[in-house]
Structure 1
Amino acid sequence: MFDILMYLFENYIHSEAEVMVDHDVLTDELTRAGFHQDEIYKALSWLEKLANLQNTDAYNFLTKRPQQSVRIYTPQETRFLDTECRGFLIFLENVNVLDFATREMVIDRVLELDTKDFNIDDLKWVVLMVLFNVPGKESAYSQMEDLIFDECEGPLH
Structure 2
Amino acid sequence: MFEVLVYVYENYWQGDACPELPRLGRKLSAAGFDAEEIQDALVWLEGLNIAAQGTQISFENAAPTEAAESSEASVHHSANSAFTPQSANSLRIYSVAEQVHLGAESLGFVSFLEASGVLPPHMREIVIDRAMAAPGDPVTLDDLKIIVLMVYWSFGEEPDALILDELCDDTEFRLGH
Fold match, TM over 0.5? yes
> Which residue of the partner structure matches residue 83 of structure 2?
61
| Corresponding residue to 1:128 among 146, 149, 153 | 149
1:40 aligns with 2:38: yes
Q: Where does structure 2 lack aligned partners over 5 or more consecutive residues? A: 59-75
CA–CA separation in structure 2 for the residues paired with 1:108 and 1:65: 18
1:105 aligns with 2:126: yes
Number of equivalent positions: 152
> Relative contact order (alpha carbons < 8 A, sep ≥ 6): 1 or 2 greater?
2
SS at match of 1:34: coil
C-alpha offsets along residues 48-103 of structure 1, whole Å, 9 cap, x if unaligned?
221221315736515x2223222221122122211111111111111101121111
CA RMSD of aligned residues (A): 2.8
* Superposition TM-score, scaled by structure 1 size: 0.78
Q: Where does structure 1 lack aligned partners over 5 or more consecutive residues? A: none
CA–CA separation in structure 2 for the residues paired with 1:150 and 1:114: 22
Are the structure 2 counterparts of residues 65 and 44 from structure 1 closer, same or farther at C-alpha, using a change threshold of 3 Å? same
> Which residue of the partner structure matches residue 166 of structure 2?
147
Percent identity between the aligned chains?
A: 36
SS at match of 2:12: helix
CA–CA separation in structure 2 for the residues paired with 1:119 and 1:144: 18
Moved over 3 A (4+): 22-25, 56-60, 140-143, 149-154
> Which residue of the partner structure matches residue 26 of structure 2?
28
For the Cα contact (< 8 Å) 2:25–2:42, is it kept in 1?
no
* Superposition TM-score, scaled by structure 2 size: 0.70
For the Cα contact (< 8 Å) 1:97–1:143, is it kept in 2?
no
Letter in 2 for 1:11: N
